[in-house]
Amino acid sequence: MLKRTGTIFVLLLVLVIFAACATPAELLAEIKAQQTAVAEQWAEALKNRDGQAQYALLTEEQQKNFYDELSKQNGENEVNWLIGSSDFIIENYQVDVTTKETLVTYRAKDPDGNIYIMVEKLSFKQVKDNWLINDYQTVVDYIDEQSYNKQAENQ
């Protein structure tokens, strides 16, 4: 009787453990949500021209590269954390996270009211419990909206 009770207890314990585990689809959805949140923080930092906020979202290796880029732009001894261009004001952005890549599409306006599009591609790396940006690159660099839409139609 004790052996049977012990077996039943172990089976119940295993069932409880498996019931508490997330399915692969749930895990992927959680990863996507976390990466989307980081990408939105990244985009908001560019919209606000806040280099320090972007720096905080990068892996240690990318932080060094980012800092070096800013140093080259502003002189070797000084870093200006003001990023982006004063020629364009980012009005809004859209984040699209897939299993292969994350694209951030920015819609910006110049002083004359013309609309331009910029697209960045981000990749992520999990560091401890956080998703950080492991790579970033501009794939479309401020082209007018009409040209961008024509390119999109042709693809």
For the stretch 93-129, pLDDT in tens is 999 998 889 999 999 999 999 999 999 999 999 999 9
Band (pLDDT 50/70/90 cuts) for residue 21 is low
Mean pLDDT of 39-61: 97
94 and 105 in contact (C-beta within 8 Å)?
yes
Identify the pLDDT of residue 15: 44
Identify the pLDDT of residue 54: 98
> CA 65, CA 111: separation in Å to the nearest integer?
31
Q: Is 102 exposed, middle or buried (0-12, 13-18, 19+ CB in 10 A)?
A: buried
- What six digits make up the tokens of 11? 């089976």
Does residue 10 surpass a pLDDT of 70?
A: no
CB neighbours of residue 67 within 10 Å: 15
Residue whose entry in the numeric block shows the structure tokens 């999990």: 126
Q: Smallest Cα–Cα separation from 102: which of 32, 150, 25?
A: 32
Identify the pLDDT of residue 2: 52
Whole-prediction pTM value? 0.82
Does residue 19 surpass a pLDDT of 90?
A: no
Q: Smallest Cα–Cα separation from 61: which of 129, 123, 130, 135?
A: 135
Domains contained in the chain, CATH given: 2-154 (3.10.450)
Q: Smallest Cα–Cα separation from 103: which of 55, 138, 69?
A: 138
Identify the pLDDT of residue 9: 55
Identify the pLDDT of residue 74: 75
